[in-house]
Amino acid sequence: MKILVINAGSSSLKYQLIDMDNQNVIAKGNCERIGVDGLITHKFADRSLQYEVPFPTHKEAFMEVVKALTSGEGKVIGDVSEISAVGHRVLHGSEVYKVSTLITEKVIDDIESFSELGPLHNPPQAAAMQACRTVFGPDTPMVAVFDTSFHQTMPEKAYMYGIPYEYYEKYHIRKYGFHGTSHRYVSQHYLEMRGLKPEGTKLVVCHLGNGSSITAVKDGKCMDTSMGFTPLDGILMGTRSGAVDPSVVLYLENKENLSADQMNDILNKKSGFLGVSELSSDARDLVNASHEGNKLAKLACDMVRYEIKKFIGAYAAAMGGLDAVLFTGGIGENSGELRAEVCEELEFMGIQLDEKENDYNTGSDHKISVPGQKVEVWVIPTNEELAIALDTKAIIEG
């Protein structure tokens, strides 16, 4: 069975065709600059093709994806009928979609109606589903996999904010959490790999990339997570501030005479690693610069590591214990230095890293804690596309 996974952004459409019999990626790529001009990168069998095609909308991008998969140099399947189903990544499912769902017209309408909660992602994702329906026809099943679903098990005390209750009732303002597909994949994968039943287990998953979030997973279910109403909350990220005292926002708007949109831009695009270091949003650049003595780069590294450490402690307290800490995402998987600093002086909690194992990046599941410690620490590469494909397969097979 072959499943196509689609991850649509406002001006891009990433795809992966996965053979579910062996979980191999047959081809993958990205259509960029949709609505501007158009560029597709198509990768298959260790080869990569890149060419320009006009993409006025997501529909033309979809047509090009089908063309790239079924014809020319990059052809990997005879025709589109070989694709059994399409799995779509969706940013926001509000409180309505607690699990992945077979896509109907009503589901697409709902996803569109949550646009206020996910203004940059939900509209293009709904548009991509319509485009996919047009190009693939009505007989190819499509499944929506929501970034928010895994976090829907949070208790009320974790997801409510201390603001007047009427705003929850009127505008659904609460913590939703994001990266759910990754947190679910990594936590389930760990439990399966270790042959553990979810009941009674207490895990902290640190998904650290350009966007980062940390989740407390108790009994296999999300109990709390660091991102909130939007993906701006939580720890310092590439260009996002993470949590700040809300008064800072009001104070700055006043002092600098900023509109809400300008403030939004500062918090989402000019803060985080970039804002603090005044150098780069990329963690690797900051690590290199801090080694060369750049003080602000070092400050940004120190801040994020301290924040991660605090979340691990807080979530261990919230869950009443801790069995494992799992690192994933570009930074979590690759930065031994960050992992070492985060775990430093946590021996009192039963966390101690094996220095050699931690320094050694295998690119696959890898235990990095000293054997026999109370808490295991692992690096587990995330695979959101495979998680989406697995959900899609499970749903179409009923």
- Binder of ligand ADP out of 331, 353, 368, 387 (CB under 6 A): 331
Residue pair 121/128 in contact by the 8 Å Cβ criterion = no
Residue among 37, 110, 147, 261 flagged as catalytic: 147
- Binder of ligand ADP out of 236, 329, 358, 375 (CB under 6 A): 329
CA distance 234 to 227: 5
Residue type, 274: L
Is 209 one of the binding residues for ligand ADP (CB under 6 A)? yes
Q: How far, CA to CA in Å, does 358 sit from each of 72, 342, 365, 378? A: 44, 12, 12, 9
In whole angstroms, what separates CA 154 from the centre of its chain?
Answer: 18
Beta-sheet strand order (sheet of 376-379): 221-225, 212-218, 202-208, 324-328, 376-379, 366-367
- Determine the residue with CB nearest ligand ADP: 330
- Binder of ligand ADP out of 47, 95, 155, 284 (CB under 6 A): 284
Please say which residue, 118 or 329, places its beta carbon nearer to ligand ADP: 329
Please say which residue, 211 or 242, places its beta carbon nearer to ligand ADP: 211
- Contacts with ligand ADP in 79-118 (CB under 6 A)? none
Please say which residue, 50 or 361, places its beta carbon nearer to ligand ADP: 361
Please say which residue, 74 or 329, places its beta carbon nearer to ligand ADP: 329
Sole window of 61-69, 198-206, 249-257, 325-333 interacting with ligand ADP (rule: CB under 6 A): 325-333
Is 266 one of the binding residues for ligand ADP (CB under 6 A)? no
Q: Does the annotation mark 285 as catalytic?
A: no
Could you tell me the two tokens for 44? Answer: 């298959």
Is 334 one of the binding residues for ligand ADP (CB under 6 A)? yes
Sole window of 70-78, 192-200, 208-216, 385-393 interacting with ligand ADP (rule: CB under 6 A): 208-216
Beta-sheet strand order (sheet of 39-44): 47-52, 39-44, 24-32, 13-19, 2-8, 83-90, 142-146, 101-102
Could you tell me the two tokens for 259? Answer: 């509109």
Contacts of 305 (CB under 8 A, 6+ apart): 338, 341, 342
Is 283 one of the binding residues for ligand ADP (CB under 6 A)? yes
Residues binding ligand ADP (CB under 6 A): 209-211, 238, 282-284, 287, 329-331, 334-335
